């Protein structure tokens, strides 16, 4: 299980750089990806605790940040 605080920066150790084709993209570690999926399932089933909601919010924020960064990297690589 991934230890989480309410700050997305506490998850930086769970971020990996992965080569996809000729690009390097930011990805969640397998354990963080599984944790996010578990929390989403609990939320969907309405069985999520307030602490888990905060954890899911932190993971979601980090996901948005890295999705944006990966899109910027892809756009930059497309323009080269």
The C-alpha atoms of residue 18 and residue 53 are separated, in whole angstroms, by 28
What average pLDDT does this structure show over 1-21? 80
- Which pLDDT belongs to residue 1? 53
pLDDT above 90 coverage of the chain, percent: 68
The C-alpha atoms of residue 2 and residue 7 are separated, in whole angstroms, by 13
- Which pLDDT belongs to residue 2? 56
What average pLDDT does this structure show over 4-31? 87
Provide the domain limits for residue 63. Answer: 13-78
For the chain, give the mean pLDDT: 90
Tell the residue number behind the tokens 């599984």, with chain if given: 34
| Helix (H) / strand (E) containing 39 | helix 30-44
Nearest partner of 73 among 16, 9, 30, 20, judged by Cα: 20
- The angle at the Cα of 76, spanning 79 to 60, to the nearest 5 degrees, equals 145
Q: Is residue 1 part of a domain?
A: no
The C-alpha atoms of residue 19 and residue 17 are separated, in whole angstroms, by 7
Tokens read off for 59: 């993971």
Q: Is residue 53 part of a domain?
A: yes
Q: Is residue 3 part of a domain?
A: no
Work out how many domains the chain is built from and give that number.
1
pLDDT band at 4 (very low <50, low <70, confident <90, very high): low
Q: Is residue 2 part of a domain?
A: no
Q: Is residue 4 part of a domain?
A: no
């Amino acid at each position: 299980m991934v230890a989480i605080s309410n700050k997305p920066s506490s998850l930086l150790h769970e971020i990996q750089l992965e080569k996809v084709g000729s690009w390097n993209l930011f990805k969640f570690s397998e354990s963080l990806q599984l944790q996010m999926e578990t929390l989403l399932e609990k939320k969907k089933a309405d069985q999520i605790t307030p602490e888990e909601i905060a954890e899911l919010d932190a993971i979601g924020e980090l996901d948005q940040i890295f999705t944006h960064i990966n899109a910027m990297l892809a756009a930059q690589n497309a323009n080269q």
